Structure 1
């Protein structure tokens, strides 16, 4: 469990400190001492990344190497692309001096996982404040006030969630049985709104999205969905946001419209169209045909998907990830709502077991599953296939887990102890055939 994240400007000036819950705030003297150790290492030419003890683990991340530069306008450019930090002249770079520190009581957390979380915290700041204000801190107190708008999002990243995007780096998705209808409604709605970027969120999971929405970086897609989940319920919103990597300096309008309780359609656009025009002219016209389908959303969110063939009865949960599409599906109720009986594993325990197993196998055996998604070269894929593990499993007294990699897909299945070890492989392969079409 995460305990606290601390953000400091150059010279160790604290910008904020967010604990995971009440009564878990580290004393200021401890924070100062830990930051002093990190600054001492930096003065000696050493960058301190992590340290651990029997009580927990600590990770630091310097963002002074993050560069501020001009980014292309994603809404006006026909060829959608993302500029990399090295496509501009070095003369246009401006260094950012921000240090973030993360404290957790789980000393088994990997360095890679903690560093990803620190990147997410920094991106959350950029999303609502912009990179320009972080690069040119003219008034620390004013920046502190501006950063308060990101506290809800930061607290959400600190606390446990039903979502798994923080460990997979891919967006949490929900697969409707009539997904083509939702895509068609969304496509027409977005086109009528001026060809913006759009997605349909059901209980904080993406049920449909335009092609240009998926062309955003995975971290931006995940962060936008997480940000919307932290907002108080209302019928519509118009919020300026920055895209941390694609457009960190030019804000765009994030428009959201409530279709049903727990179901929202979101647009990312420029100055036009107006919120009133979409509400009065477009919303009902394009989404009325999908009303009956959308009503299934809240109930379907418990399961995450619907299959034409039944799953193995011993399956307690599964996690399917496709990094090449930046999408994942996770369910701890794969058979649907279960009868009211005492289960060996609660839903929270199932979710914790799947998360722990996924982190273990991706950081131990499937370390290049993300690289495989980025490198479709068949020659390198053959080398990976001949040298890497494609299946693994673990058994405990309460459950059994099996991981199976096929191409760029990774499937993690949680089984009950009633399933014998020798049948885990055949059952997992059968499940992969059943669920592979979801992503």
Structure 2
């Protein structure tokens, strides 16, 4: 099971790139030509071809700026999710080359080369699809992963001081690619921007530091800004968006000055991973793991290490991911006449329950022995344990 996404030119159907994930064959040149030909034929007749479905696959077409056509073929994923994948991939292209280049490129080969740095990000985006596969990462479209630790307020104060020294409003601190602290300016960015920035930092986490020019969709699609990331201690990184100054060496020096006094605090904060919540928070024995989402801020927290092995944790994560995509996303929608607030699944080896309260939504994975009527009470209790911890500031954009 897997997915293919291809990009061709609107004018001549020339291939720009092709990426795939999972156990599927890459689309052949003739198949790509046929998919583009069907779209082109409909366009010539005044028809807009958006999607179609086969027995187990969904195909979605999307044209942008009369310049590029993105086509995605995904197994076991519905039209809505595949459309979001295409939209996110297009925004990833903007991040690396800007809208002017996309609309006005003249040399196809040069344009293809300029897009190569975006390939790791596109691969990260495709991993957000649900294939029921333990080998894929647990990642969710448009939502950034967060981590909660007792040291959060100290980290937030240090981050606010650091971005002030740098002269920017946009900064965030990550532990194992999970957001531990962020400025209000960063949280004010559109969700898809934050997600793409997280993908870039994650794909470059092997670097001690990096300085990358990027374009921000919606905010700065034509003028590049800088994304600078510095590793404080493994695996903690501080990241900022800034202008032409200060340079990378100055930012590295300032990061040492700002963060070295609390290096012991940083080491303590790392201990919250992989549980992603403080170890002194206790939950009901029937819980194997949970996925917590704040819909307003666009972030999620995954906890699958309560009492399971690393292998079991991966299985729990993939089960929660499938539950979220197939049953829970309807709870996030506000346009339905009758707003659902909870849902559940019952399987042979486990049970799952999701409940929405305000801007928070929690999906809980139980062992199969839990009585079904008890799941609602335990889910609500689990959510309250986390949101009631004022020092963790789950429902706030910063820990101020």
Normalised to the residue count of structure 2, the TM-score between the two structures is 0.90
Equivalent residues in 2 for 1:18-417, closer than 5 Å:
18-20=19-21, 24-64=25-65, 96-106=66-76, 109-159=77-127, 161-166=136-141, 169-231=142-204, 233-280=206-253, 282-306=254-278, 308-333=280-305, 335=306, 338=308, 346-364=312-330, 366-369=331-334, 387-417=338-368
CA–CA separation in structure 2 for the residues paired with 1:237 and 1:391: 43
RMSD value, Cα: 2.1
CA–CA separation in structure 1 for the residues paired with 2:87 and 2:2: 15
Provide closer, same or farther for how the CA distance between residues 275 and 363 of structure 1 changes in structure 2, counting only shifts above 3 A: closer
SS in 1 for 2:284: coil
SS in 2 for 1:242: strand
CA–CA separation in structure 2 for the residues paired with 1:250 and 1:203: 30
Alignment-derived partner of residue 132 in structure 2: none
User: Contact 2:8–2:15 (CA<8 Å) still a contact in 1?
Assistant: yes
Provide closer, same or farther for how the CA distance between residues 195 and 157 of structure 1 changes in structure 2, counting only shifts above 3 A: closer
User: Contact 2:272–2:279 (CA<8 Å) still a contact in 1?
Assistant: no
SS in 1 for 2:201: helix
CA–CA separation in structure 1 for the residues paired with 2:281 and 2:114: 51
User: Contact 1:176–1:305 (CA<8 Å) still a contact in 2?
Assistant: yes
Alignment-derived partner of residue 92 in structure 1: none
Q: CA offsets, 1:177-219, max 9 Å, x none?
A: 1100000000111101113411101111111111101111110
Q: CA offsets, 1:298-325, max 9 Å, x none?
A: 4422111126541011111211111212
Number of residue equivalences? 382
Q: CA offsets, 1:15-43, max 9 Å, x none?
A: 11112268721111111111111211222
Displacement of 1:289: 3.1
Provide closer, same or farther for how the CA distance between residues 196 and 275 of structure 1 changes in structure 2, counting only shifts above 3 A: farther
User: Contact 1:399–1:416 (CA<8 Å) still a contact in 2?
Assistant: yes
CA–CA separation in structure 2 for the residues paired with 1:412 and 1:199: 26
CA–CA separation in structure 2 for the residues paired with 1:309 and 1:23: 42
User: Contact 1:2–1:159 (CA<8 Å) still a contact in 2?
Assistant: no
SS in 2 for 1:418: coil
Displacement of 1:339: 6.0
CA–CA separation in structure 1 for the residues paired with 2:113 and 2:48: 30
CA–CA separation in structure 2 for the residues paired with 1:339 and 1:146: 42
SS in 1 for 2:218: coil
CA–CA separation in structure 2 for the residues paired with 1:45 and 1:249: 31
User: Contact 2:171–2:240 (CA<8 Å) still a contact in 1?
Assistant: yes
CA–CA separation in structure 2 for the residues paired with 1:159 and 1:432: 27
What are the ranges of 5 or more consecutive residues in structure 1 without an aligned counterpart?
65-95, 372-383
2:372 paired with 1:421: yes
CA–CA separation in structure 2 for the residues paired with 1:21 and 1:394: 26
Provide closer, same or farther for how the CA distance between residues 319 and 155 of structure 1 changes in structure 2, counting only shifts above 3 A: same
CA–CA separation in structure 1 for the residues paired with 2:222 and 2:273: 35
SS in 2 for 1:273: coil
Provide closer, same or farther for how the CA distance between residues 162 and 265 of structure 1 changes in structure 2, counting only shifts above 3 A: same
SS in 1 for 2:167: coil
Alignment-derived partner of residue 379 in structure 1: none
Provide closer, same or farther for how the CA distance between residues 353 and 22 of structure 1 changes in structure 2, counting only shifts above 3 A: closer
User: Contact 2:159–2:173 (CA<8 Å) still a contact in 1?
Assistant: yes
Alignment-derived partner of residue 381 in structure 2: 430
Larger mean Cα displacement after TM superposition, 317-326 or 245-254: 317-326
User: Contact 2:138–2:317 (CA<8 Å) still a contact in 1?
Assistant: no
Provide closer, same or farther for how the CA distance between residues 310 and 300 of structure 1 changes in structure 2, counting only shifts above 3 A: same
CA–CA separation in structure 2 for the residues paired with 1:298 and 1:51: 46
